[in-house]
Amino acid sequence: MQRMGYSFPEDVLEHVFSFIQSDRDRNAISTVCKSWYEIERWSRRRVFIGNCYAISPRMVIRRFPDVRSVELKGKPHFADFNLVPDGWGGYVAPWITAMVAGYPWLEEIRLKRMVITDESLELISKSFKNFKVLVLSSCEGFSTKGLAAIAANCRNLRELDLQESEVEDLSGHWLSLFPENYTSLVSLNIACLGCEVSFSALERLVSTCPNLRTLRLNRTVPLDKLANLLRRAPQLVELGTGAFSFELTPDVFSNLSGAFTGCKELKSLSGFWDVVPGCLPAVYPICSRLTSLNLSYATIRSPDLIKLVSQCQNLQRLWVLDYIEDAGLDVLAASCKDLRELRVFPSDPFGPEPNVSLTEQGLVSVSEGCPKLQSVLYFCRQMCNGALVTIARNRPNMTTFRLCIIEPQTPDYLTLQPLDAGFGAIVQHCKDLRRLSLSGLLTDRVFEYIGTYAKNLEMLSVAFAGDSDIGLHHVLSGCQNLRKLEIRDCPFGDKALLANAAKLETMRSLWMSSCSVSYGACKLLGQKMLRLNVEVIDERGPPDSRPESSPVEKLYVCRTVAGPRCDMPDFVWRMGEDSALRLS
């Protein structure tokens, strides 16, 4: 058998490897023997780094010298909910600088939860001659000035996606900086921008780019102008509308409706800002083609939602506000048999009383009626174990289950018991469950179930749950595929954490905030586990100024081979050999 490896010339092996795209498979290939390692590393074109501090840019470039696509993630997920103070980190600048030197042929940069400056954007636009794809998902630190540099300098940009980033809107003029006969754009997502972009520039761009398939506009693009854009881009597959309210005269209405009908490939709709129900019928003609519908910013009520959704028989993904109510979800369950993903967001999460009639029943209906349902994000105000058990039994193919009962520690509303049994049923029946978010009243028991049954679980989010360290211990010792664990406001302390210290090296990251982990334990963890980056985030001042037994505000642990980072702000302390010293 040993001979076979040597009988193939390198080109052949390289050709074979080119069919293997998955990172895990490539990683496995690279461990076969030295020559395979070498061939693989020279032929790897795409790198995904789930935590930008896990490795240094230099190390990446040294191992993979000819990468064309880089994806980086920065801040912890809980940064989305304001739990990570500003200035924590996630700066992409050192990566950009290193890649400018190391990857002159870089084509794609995808960032999530990172801080990127206008200077970096300008550097990207001028340094990578073949640059094609820029995706900035939930990023911040830049303005429309940076976008102007991208528009002006990137000759063959295919994709510009600003997905939910915080952009300082200085002016909408930047879009006009795309050269006159620009043809390469395939995807443009500017939905997050606040200010008005030059409509004529938009029109021009849409006209000259025959391959444009994704266009997500921002709120300022008015409905009466949408038809113009659609007529110029009948090949569109994904559209995000601007504001969806207008006094539609019959002429304007039929023009718009006709424009929608003309888009024979249109499968995904989003936007619907400020939607007025009277305008919705304009999209009825294309509903049956839709596979993805994002109405999560559309404040329309159940009857209008029902009318719309009942026509979308081929829907696979629906994001909607809880205005849909149980009645609407019943209709969804009856009409949309191909549904794979459902997200129901709260319309009034901070109100003390429910404002809509959305309960656990809606989710049960959908779980019964939609055999392909595998991904759920559901905000509601009441839940019972019975419903969760039913959902689990109905949908053993569930892979993502994120339930948010709005009031923390809400028990089963029928029995007033904890929801341990319900979530236990979920992990027991859904053997492929990869992501789980818990809520409601939960004891250590639910964690025992999770540790016992959730063998494929990769990401777990926990809030206001559990009784003691036993709970955390069950998860850390039982879930062998766990990669990301994020915990807030739970009575978990030192024991489980320290007993399972080695587990943390097999995970990407652990977040614990408002728990009972002591400063002393954090120090110990940092001192003993050299391949972990153990950070204490505490805005009250240096942890040294409080007793060792005092709990830290926030703890963030990541595995890393890059050693300490040097961009920590003054409210972050790294626990390490010299945790008394701060590296600055």
Binders in 350-409 for other proteins, by CB under 8 A:
350-352, 379, 404, 406-409
CB 396 within 8 A of CB 367: no
**H-assigned helices in 406-455:** 420-429, 444-453
Binders of other proteins in range 205-234 (CB under 8 A): none
Structure tokens at 3: 């001979």
Distance CA 132, CA 119 (A): 18
Please give the backbone phi and psi of residue 287, each rounded to the nearest 5 degrees, phi first: -55, -40
CB of 525 to other proteins, least distance (A): 7
Q: Which residue has the tokens 């023997």?
A: 33
Binding range to other proteins, per CB under 8 A, among 102-110, 147-155, 324-332, 489-497 = 489-497
Name which position in 130, 183, 288, 550 contacts other proteins (CB under 8 A): 550
State the binding string over 237-256 for other proteins (x if CB under 8 A, else -). --------------------
Distance CA 239, CA 215 (A): 5
CB of 402 to other proteins, least distance (A): 9
Q: Where is 181: in which H helix or E strand?
A: none
Using CB under 8 A as the binding rule, whether residue 126 contacts other proteins is answered as: no
Helices 360-369 and 385-394 cross at an angle (nearest 10°) of 20
Using CB under 8 A as the binding rule, whether residue 464 contacts other proteins is answered as: yes
Name which position in 117, 137, 255, 560 contacts other proteins (CB under 8 A): 117
Is the Cβ of residue 265 or residue 577 nearer to other proteins in the bound state? 577
Using CB under 8 A as the binding rule, whether residue 549 contacts other proteins is answered as: yes
CB of 234 to other proteins, least distance (A): 30
For 52, residues 6+ apart whose C-beta sits below 8 A from its C-beta are: 72, 73, 74, 90, 92, 95, 114
Structure tokens at 430: 């859904």
Using CB under 8 A as the binding rule, whether residue 53 contacts other proteins is answered as: no
Binding range to other proteins, per CB under 8 A, among 19-27, 177-185, 242-250, 470-478 = 470-478
Q: How many residues bind other proteins, per CB under 8 A?
A: 81
Binders of other proteins in range 413-442 (CB under 8 A): 437
Binding range to other proteins, per CB under 8 A, among 82-90, 198-206, 325-333, 365-373 = 82-90
Binding range to other proteins, per CB under 8 A, among 65-73, 175-183, 262-270, 340-348 = 340-348
CB of 145 to other proteins, least distance (A): 14
Using CB under 8 A as the binding rule, whether residue 303 contacts other proteins is answered as: no
Name which position in 85, 94, 102, 564 contacts other proteins (CB under 8 A): 85
Specify the length of the chain in residues.
Answer: 584
Distance CA 42, CA 67 (A): 8
| Long-range CB contact pairs, 274-279, < 8 A, 24+ | 274/219, 274/243, 274/244, 274/245, 275/244, 275/245, 275/299, 275/300, 276/244, 276/245, 276/246, 277/301, 277/304, 278/248, 279/223, 279/244, 279/245, 279/246, 279/248, 279/253
Name which position in 222, 262, 285, 491 contacts other proteins (CB under 8 A): 491
Name which position in 514, 542, 563, 564 contacts other proteins (CB under 8 A): 514
Is the Cβ of residue 80 or residue 265 nearer to other proteins in the bound state? 80
DSSP codes of every residue in 202-252: HHHHHHH-TT--EEE--TTS-HHHHHHHHHH-TT-SEEE-SB------HHH
Name which position in 86, 265, 544, 578 contacts other proteins (CB under 8 A): 86
